Structure 1
Amino acid sequence: MYDFNTLYEASSVEDALRLKKEHPQARILAGGSDILIGIRDGKLAGCDLISIYALDDLRGICLEDDGTLLIRPLTSFTNITMHPLIKEHLPVLGEAVDQIGGPQIRNIGTIGGNICNGVTSADSASTLKAYDAVLELTSLEGVRSLPYADFNLGAGKVDLRSGEMLTGIRIRKESWENTYGNYIKYSMRRAMDIATLACSVNVRLTEDKKRIDRLRIAFGVAAPTPIRAFTAEKSAQGHLLDKELLTLVSEGALADVMPRSSWRASKEFRLHLVEELARRATIVSIEKAGGNING
């Protein structure tokens, strides 16, 4: 049995927002793969819940008229991995969420819940950060657009205001077009474990496939929140595809991260992983884009 107080089932997005306004302390329940664990552990015992799982308006993926890729927050990890638009335009996101838990978790868990929990180990988070995702946050007063880069306020804390709900995740065409990415998750076990450290890289090469036109890199569990490595990105801009590039990216990443020691790994080991995963993910991304590291 789960120790919660009242379960409200929303019949529409507007109904969910009304319930949230009437019960500001209530928790939004999507797939429930995280909240129900929190209730069972006692951390959320006795809470009120607003279920939005039946709201199909918050489920699905489409391309908008300007080429923006729109992912609705109730889309399951399995549906993200299998969706034709993700396979065509953003396969690295599918690869990332396909490493979450087991099949049952991926079938029920949602991308909206994954990022609204605000945990640094969320497998979708670093890829969405690396692709400059923009969040659609809706309340009864209207819709607010917020860069995902500004959403995480601290460990487990996000900029979701009272009465607001995540209703969309957008990745602009300029962010995904002609880009190729790789996500690497290092964990203590190869199956159903959270990341000890995670790295997501995507690159766009120049037409001659000899230089970096743009590189984006983000990490999970390298700081209290998912974090972009802007120093590494800047050092890669316009650089030849050579071994010096890999050194600049891996060393530049160290300037932006702030890992800590935990029972899973020491700070020193995580710093080693930052360098190594940055190097490996950059190599694979470049190869996917049709380039090769020379020298």
Structure 2
Amino acid sequence: MSKGLFPFESGRFVRRAGRPIARPGLMARLDAADGMVVLVAGTGAGKSTLLDAWVAARGGALVDLAHEGLEAVPADGVLAIDGVTDRHVPALRTLAGRPGVVVAAQEELGLPGAVRLSSCELGFAEDETYQVLAAAFGDAEAADVLAPDLHLLTNGWPALVGLAAAWLAQHPAPLRRKRLLALARAEAGLAEFLIPAVLAGLAEADRELVRRLAYLPGPLGVAGDLVPVAPFAQGLLRRPGWFAVPAGWKAALRAELPLSAAEVERMAAAELAV
């Protein structure tokens, strides 16, 4: 989707710009691997965010198999491939000897010799949970107080940490600890509770941006000086000025923020016209 099709006035977005967690340890492991690296974890582990950051830092290419085929893979250079499934394995085996290849999948893949990073290794350390809170609050001291309990509650799962941080940031500082304790007693799953709660606390313009991004098959280039709507609308480091909803959030966001069939068709037609 090209920049400018859905312009948003920059003055309507005054939120503090968030920054992805740097994760130098994981980046170093991707750099140091002799062969292909496979990230294996479920939705919300931060696989796509890590791939985006790695490609942006190393000047490589990222191919998302949810939107394009393996024919889009460049012949050389650092390469990240997202959305891999079992059916892609035969083609990926031809890349096994190529250095600087990282692929992401939700299920185990039959790729002998590949270096595997699991969900345990992709999860946030307590310090990284603190960094997410500090960015959300704009207050390092307040984040330091709540980070240990939030890390314990979420087990460091990146998606849950981001959701909880965004929800806590919507409350006045004196109430955040009480809200965090209440979150620990929530009867529903954390994601099921937090997604509608965070959306309800967004400004109308922010919800509209998230709604549109959730229905687009790929990222959107936005006209204007827009900052991310954490954790749903994330800026792409490899494509400054472009935003996307992580694949794992799309179904839930579409259920919470439905668009009419006519509006979805209009957006699809606009994309085809580019």
Q: TM-score range by the shorter chain?
A: under 0.3
More helix by share: 2
Q: Does 1 or 2 have the higher relative contact order (CA < 8 Å, sep 6+)?
A: 2
More strand by share: 1
